[in-house]
Chain A
Amino acid sequence: MTTASTQRHAPRRRLAVVLPALLALLLTFATATAQSATPTELVVALTAIGNTLDPAVANFANTATAMGHVYDRIIYIDENFEFAPAVAASWEFVDATTFKLTVGDGFVFHNGAPLTVQDVVFSIERLRDVPRLASVMNNVASTEATGESEVTIKLVEPNNSTIRALMANSHVLNEAYSKTPGVDYANKPIGTGPYVVSNFVPGDRLELTAWADYPFTAPAIPRIVFRTIPEDANRYIAAETGEAQFAAISFHDLARAESNPRLNVIQQKTTNTAFISMNTQKAPFDNANVRLAMAYATDKEGLAVVQGGSTVIYSMTPPMFSTYYASPNLPTFDLEKARQLLEAEGYGPSNPLKFDMWTYGGNTSVAETYQALLSAIGVEMSIKNFEFGVFLEGMARGEYQMLSGSWNNITGDPMSALENYWSGSFGSQNISFFENARVDELYELAKGTLDNSVLIDAAREVQEIAAAQMPIIPTFSTLAMFAFDARLVGVETYPSSLYSFRHARFE
């Protein structure tokens, strides 16, 4: 038994040396590449990259941002939500149902084919196959080439939203290429933008390379790599250690990023709107008093603190929109009042109000905070955490009771202030399935008008109705925050939460 332990042999010593040597080797290797000169590529750390590169299908800001380097749009929506020239050099509303645009010169697809008006027509008409845009496309009677470089869009009926919604999704694809049988045109895309896709790993990374034959001013950065790093803390660490030169970061790391001399920070005000929505077609929130009680129980300040980097909001419409209106009649945080309202509806200790709240994406801290607030007045709320896709589907089908979520308005459509409560937009903009005859009447009135004051008055009245009926509680708006290599300049960010490196460079 003890024979082995009393004697020493050569191999053991060698073994004792191997371990530390191995470790030392690893560490030397590890430190060797830590410092580098001016980057030749830009690594962008994102929360997620979708499984498709078709921006219209993906409906995802990160996809739209990345593909904004590969595709051009027909018309650009600028930082003030105004139309700006892109592939279209000019445009006009001929009348309430006719929109005409002129395609600019010199655009060429990555395969060498020059851009034609037919490609522009195709790029709009193809949106009919995107389920999410069905209601928009239903109002598009026709898209036709009406001249050598002219395209005319005819609407079924006047609606101020339609063209805006089209242009927000108006990436220009090559018709011939997209119709070639067997070609995965979505994920092997050909556009007219300054970058080509050199590698795409669905859900993980997207690599873009500057297109050598780009007919306009060539971009300064030869390679852009979009990488998925789901965790906030890791994404910031990537920026800090130089693994990434640009990262969307969370509020927790903001102060750290600001005090780091090698990083710059952008805080972009966005149209981000967080809310607690209640399904007005389903018990218990088919009762307006119960909904009001929920609004009184909402400590928006507290929720904004938990979220971080957020400001409390009093309207579902972003403040930069002409139709923005904050009703003075909105419920303010008052737990006692909430309790009384519930009691009047027959809910109390013996008959507690119980329901499920849906949320998504794993981080449930806002939902848990709300859960704790409600439990203080005897309300039993369970949190159901879904993957985003499932959440969206269930929301659109109205299968939920209450949900906590947020969205960004990318079209800048002032009509959205009404659409949020309009019965024609069930499951799309009106996720509370709120039905009100007066709101629908006001929507019809506003959608075709060319008189801005009619629109603004209608929006105000709708938002007053919403304040009294409370189908959806606006809670807070979160800034978009980015940390990036201090040598990187010229990044453009937009309130739609999109951004672009087309004019960026390293100094």
Chain B
Amino acid sequence: MTSYVLKRLTHIIPVLIATTLLVFALLSLSPSDPAQLILGVGAKPEELAQMREQLGLNDPLLVRYARYMGGVLTGDFGTSYSTKRPVLEMIGVRLPNTLVLAFGSLALILIVAIPLGVALAVRQNTLFDNVMRVLTLLTAAMPSFWLGLMLILLFSVKLGWLPSSGLDNVRAAIMPLVCLAVAGWTVTSRLTRASMLDVVRQDYIRTARAKGLPQGVVMRKHALRNALLPVVTSVGLLVGQSVGGAVVIEILFGINGIGKMMVDAVRQQDVPTIMGGVLIAAVVIAVANLLTDLSYAVIDPRLESMYGEPAA
């Protein structure tokens, strides 16, 4: 197990380094002048030149990147150009909200979509299956922000049941989480359904049935357990989608999260803040992927090589 963890870690770290280097390189193409943004109005040319030197802006890209990552490892993510606060502190304030959105919606996706997918597989080609197929087609086609607006109109304006903004309590979290989960419901329930149908055709299920085990036991003990493996592999992907989707949801519901921080930062050309946001998102996703791999190995280590790639 330990060696497996180490193997996964050695895979993740180069990807993280390359990812951050890519984003760092892209952001260094930003047309804004950090020295000007820091010193602000009325800075003299020599002050600007001095500030550029002080910031090390004249060094080669790799040197700047190494310095930045060195800072990151010691907890220094730089200082925001616009708020003049440490980026790490800004992230610290906002990350909990984004994590609640990302993992809350993930939980909501799994809780709803797996039973739904199983039910769909079991009732394949029934009215229920067909109705759900139409329904998921519709929900998958709805942009989360549009669904959110419609939910606000119904649950906040018309019924007055749910708050329309913030993430202060469980009630406030309901609509943002549902909006984020909808796309995942479709994908995951379809995946579960397909995977269930695949599994029930396998020989060992037939064997189990032939042995005269009750259907319920067969489905629960044998089919579901194995059918869930592709779903588990897709969890990392779902976390990535939730982190990305949270950007729009945070703007829609006025939630103070990483996504909103980054959108504000784009308008301010606040490169350190954007860099910090991408970095933290990449780490969250990498960790989620790692945990997925590990849980996968725990569920059934033998299957590791069988299902190398997630089902498309």
CB atoms of A and B under 8 A apart anywhere in the complex?
yes
Contact among B37, B220, B254 for A230, CB-based, below 8 A: B254
Q: Is the CB of A202 within 8 A of B83?
A: yes
Q: Is the CB of B93 within 8 A of A234?
A: no
- A3-B200, A131-B42 known; A30-B174 Cβ under 8 A: yes
Type the 1/0 row for A224-251, where 1 means its CB is closer than 8 Å to any CB of B: 0001111101110110110100000000
Type the 1/0 row for B82-122, where 1 means its CB is closer than 8 Å to any CB of A: 11110000100100000000000000000110011011011
Top 8 A-B residue pairs of the complex, sorted by shortest distance between their CB atoms: A387-B267, A204-B256, A51-B83, A15-B115, A396-B41, A234-B165, A5-B124, A237-B164
Rounded to whole Å, the gap between the CB of B88 and the closest CB of chain A is: 13
Q: Is the CB of B166 within 8 A of A227?
A: yes
Whether a CB of chain B sits under 8 angstroms from the CB of A27 is yes
Whether a CB of chain A sits under 8 angstroms from the CB of B71 is no
Which residues in A have their C-beta under 8 angstroms from that of B82?
Answer: 51, 387, 389-390
Whether a CB of chain B sits under 8 angstroms from the CB of A7 is yes
Q: Is the CB of B219 within 8 A of A9?
A: yes
Q: Is the CB of B83 within 8 A of A241?
A: no
Which residues in A have their C-beta under 8 angstroms from that of B196?
Answer: 4
Whether a CB of chain B sits under 8 angstroms from the CB of A1 is yes
Whether a CB of chain B sits under 8 angstroms from the CB of A113 is no
Contact among B42, B90, B119 for A12, CB-based, below 8 A: B119
Within 8 A of B (CB), among A402-432: 427
Which residues in B have their C-beta under 8 angstroms from that of A227?
Answer: 166
Q: Is the CB of A9 within 8 A of B152?
A: no
Within 8 A of A (CB), among B59-99: 80, 82-85, 90, 93
Whether a CB of chain A sits under 8 angstroms from the CB of B156 is yes
16 contacts between A and B (CB under 8 A): A3-B200, A5-B122, A5-B124, A7-B215, A11-B220, A15-B115, A15-B119, A16-B119, A30-B162, A51-B80, A228-B254, A229-B165, A235-B165, A237-B157, A387-B264, A396-B42
A residues apposed to B, CB below 8 Å: 1-5, 7, 9-12, 15-16, 18-19, 22, 26-27, 29-31, 33-34, 51-52, 131, 201-205, 227-231, 233-235, 237-238, 240-241, 243, 385-387, 389-390, 393, 396-397, 427
Q: Is the CB of B161 within 8 A of A30?
A: yes
- A11-B216, A234-B165, A243-B163 known; A393-B152 Cβ under 8 A: no
Contact among B126, B164, B200, B253 for A241, CB-based, below 8 A: B164
Whether a CB of chain A sits under 8 angstroms from the CB of B139 is no
Whether a CB of chain A sits under 8 angstroms from the CB of B170 is yes
Q: Is the CB of B112 within 8 A of A237?
A: no
Interface size on B, residues (CB 8 A): 53
Q: Is the CB of A238 within 8 A of B267?
A: no
Q: Is the CB of A33 within 8 A of B171?
A: yes
Residue ID in chain A nearest B163 by CB atoms: A243
In Å, the complex CA distance between A9 and B157 comes to 42
In Å, the complex CA distance between A9 and B161 comes to 37
Rounded to whole Å, the gap between the CB of B50 and the closest CB of chain A is: 17
Rounded to whole Å, the gap between the CB of B178 and the closest CB of chain A is: 9
Rounded to whole Å, the gap between the CB of B169 and the closest CB of chain A is: 8
Other A-B pairs, 10, CB within 8 Å; known A2-B124, A202-B85, A230-B254: A11-B216, A19-B115, A27-B161, A51-B84, A131-B42, A202-B93, A205-B256, A231-B165, A237-B164, A387-B264
Rounded to whole Å, the gap between the CB of B22 and the closest CB of chain A is: 25
Contact among B161, B254, B269 for A234, CB-based, below 8 A: B254
Q: Is the CB of A238 within 8 A of B125?
A: no
Which residues in A have their C-beta under 8 angstroms from that of B85?
Answer: 51, 202
Q: Is the CB of B162 within 8 A of A131?
A: no
Rounded to whole Å, the gap between the CB of A425 and the closest CB of chain B is: 13
In Å, the complex CA distance between A18 and B113 comes to 12
Type the 1/0 row for B165-198, where 1 means its CB is closer than 8 Å to any CB of A: 1100011001000000000000000000000110
Which residues in B have their C-beta under 8 angstroms from that of A52?
Answer: 83-84
In Å, the complex CA distance between A285 and B254 comes to 39
Whether a CB of chain A sits under 8 angstroms from the CB of B123 is yes
- A5-B126, A19-B112 known; A427-B119 Cβ under 8 A: no
Whether a CB of chain A sits under 8 angstroms from the CB of B268 is yes
In Å, the complex CA distance between A12 and B124 comes to 12
Which residues in A have their C-beta under 8 angstroms from that of B44?
Answer: none
Which residues in A have their C-beta under 8 angstroms from that of B253?
Answer: 234
Contact among A4, A16, A396 for B124, CB-based, below 8 A: A4
Q: Is the CB of B165 within 8 A of A238?
A: yes
In Å, the complex CA distance between A123 and B93 comes to 30
In Å, the complex CA distance between A238 and B168 comes to 13
Rounded to whole Å, the gap between the CB of B225 and the closest CB of chain A is: 13
